[in-house]
Every structure is written in C-alpha cells, then in structure tokens.
Chain A
Amino acid sequence: MGVTKEEVESSLTSKLSPVHLEVVDTSGGCGASFVVEIVSGQFEGKRILERHRMVNAALEKEMQEIHALSIKKALTPEQWKQQQDSENSEATT
C-alpha cells in the first residue's frame, strides 16, 4: 500500500539523474501524496510541460498508487543556480 519517499527518490534519481532533488511526503505517511522539487540537466531545452511529463513518466509505476503529485519546481541546473543566486542576493541586500 502506498509508495515511500525513498522509492520516489530512487526512481527519479535513476531516470533523471538530478543534481538537486527534494521529495516531501505530504500524505501524512500513507504514501499517496508527494511534493517534488527537481533540478536536472535533462530538462535543458524542454518546456515546463515536457519536464513535468518526464517526471510523470519516471514515476509511471509509482503513479498508480500516488493520488496527488505536485511538481513544485522542475528546473535546469542553470535556472536553479540563478534562482539560488537571486535568493541569496535578496537575503544579503
């Protein structure tokens, strides 16, 4: 029953080789609902829809048991770096 955070992480890691990955189980433990933040070089040149598709495809097996998957961020390493830089500069100014 349900899917674990580790299963989601390992599927995403093996298929999308992310440089940053954050999976949060928002189901309160029953494994039906996750929020994902992922940064991968494979997203380069892909529109947001295609990126989400890639994540969905990587989790095809798990999706059968996951009720809600929220992909909060699907960024390329470069976008990720920019975003962090801007956050840092906001914090320091």
Chain B
Amino acid sequence: MRTLEKELLEAKTVTLMRCNISSITPITNVKPRSLSIVSALKKISEADSISLSPENDGSVTSDCGVYAVYDSNGQVQFIGLSRNIAASVDLHRKKVPELCSSVKVGVVDEPSKESLTQAWKSWMEEHIAATGKVPPGNETGNTTWFRPPPQKKPDLRLTPGRHVQLIVPLEQLIDRLVKENKVVAFIKGSRSAPACGFSQRVVGILESQGVDYESVDVLDEEYNSGLREKLKSYSNWPTFPQVFVNGELVGGCDILTSMYEQGELANLLK
C-alpha cells in the first residue's frame, strides 16, 4: 500500500537524482525534455505524404520541423530540418524540381536548436534503419539541397570618403548607380544589420525573392555623406528605405510590402 511517507521518500529521491544528474547518468527517468518532444513527433512511416503538384500549393505547413523529400519513384532524396518547412521545400522545388515529387512533414512543437536536431536525427535513424543507407541528398559533399552560404554582399559606397572632393555631383552618382544596377535599396544601416524596422522589412522581402540587389546605407556619413538629402530630392520621396528597379523608384516599405503581398513584386523583379 502506498503511504504518504513512501511518496515523500520517492519525491525526495527524484529531487536528489535531479541534483546529481551528471553523476548518475545511467538513471534515465528524469532525463530530458527533448525525449518527450521527440515522442510527440510523428515518425516518417506515420507521416502523411503530401504531393508537390502545383495544384497542391500551400498544403505544406510553414511550421518548424523536419521533412523528407521523395522523388517520383518514392525514394527519399533528402531529410532536412527547417524553421519554415514550406519555404525550404519551395526552394528545393525551384532548384531541383525533378527530385521533388512529394514530401512528408514532422512538425516540432516547441522548436529549439536541440529539439529540431533531435527530431532530424530520429528521422535519419529511422530511415537508415529501414533502408540501410543515408538519403543521397544527405551524403557528405552533396550540396544540392543546401542553401548556398548566405553571401552578404557589402553595401555600396557612393564616395571615397567625405573629405575627398567629388569631381562628379552626388546626384549624378545616384543616377548612375540606380541605372547601372537592376535593383538598388537605399536603407538605413547595412544590409546585414539594418538600423530601422522598415529597412529591415525591405531587406527581408528582397532576400525572400532571392533577387540580386545592391544596398546603400544612407546613414553612412563617411562614405555616403549628404546622400540622404540629395536622394530625397532626386527621387522626390521623403522617407527611407527607397527601392529602385531599373532606374525607377518603386517605393518604400509600404509599397514593397503591398506589392509583395499581392504577388506583383516577383514580376517586377524578373
């Protein structure tokens, strides 16, 4: 029969075990949270297969988790983990459409680096146990499925420095810059660390489009001295950020956001 005393004793033991967790590792019942998270994760064999046909667009979740991409022969090509499964799968489909026929998804509810890695491991292990091999896309050296390392371009500078006398008027430099580059974003801060929420959103939108663009930091007083005022009059636009495409002002954050939401931006950037 259970007694209060026994329960208390047990509780005490648990507490003790918690305190000494590093010294008594063999005891597993107080071990990690990550186990319980993984147990909530569906196994590959249990997850539903989602066809990646165009009419099925939007059926992949944009949650965090793991996913397995299948080719048209039903073979797993790649097992990945992502903070936005739909976006990752979209990138794969753009890059290697012939290898992306369907996908299985395992959402990780409380995503952390550990829980995601744990979930990914469990899917890899399950796959290896079932097939005896690593998916081709996960083999070392295969870079098909990985995003190219983010190559943050440096921001462009308009002048060699504010103490250098310009031979060409600043206005002309702006004009050349926006005409010689397809997409130019004049932002506050650098593209790797925008200094204003609106600029950050614009950078985010441009990056999500995978478009090659130039950025100019209008707050850089050393190399873009005087640019803020000049640009406002050049473009007849009072605020920043400002995005130019093919030499023409498209607009600021509001316009870019609305074009992005309406799906008009992709056309413009083609």
Contact = CB atoms under 8 A, between A and B. Distances in A.
B238 A56 contact: yes
Interface of A: 48-49, 52-53, 56, 63, 68-72
Interface string B230-263: 0000001111000000000111111100110000
Contact of B237 (A53, A68, A70): A53
B249 A49 contact: yes
Nearest to A70: B254
The SS class assigned to the B binding surface is mixed
Contacts of B238: 56, 63
Contacts of B253: 70
A72 B252 CA distance: 12
Contacts, number: 25
A52 B236 contact: no
B198 interface: yes
Contacts of A56: 237-239
A49 B239 contact: no
Given A48-B258, A49-B249, A49-B255, A69 B236 contact: no
A37 B237 CA distance: 19
21 contacts: A48-B251, A48-B255, A48-B258, A48-B259, A49-B249, A49-B250, A52-B252, A52-B254, A52-B255, A53-B236, A53-B237, A56-B238, A56-B239, A63-B238, A68-B198, A68-B239, A69-B239, A70-B253, A70-B254, A71-B254, A72-B254
Interface string B211-243: 000000000000000000000000011110000
Find the residue from B239, B249, B259 having the highest chain A CB count within 10 A: B239
B237 to A, nearest CB: 7
The SS class assigned to the A binding surface is helix
Nearest to A60: B238
Contacts of B249: 49
Interface in B19-61: none
Contacts of B252: 52
A69 B239 CA distance: 9
A72 B254 CA distance: 7
A55 to B, nearest CB: 10
B117 to A, nearest CB: 39
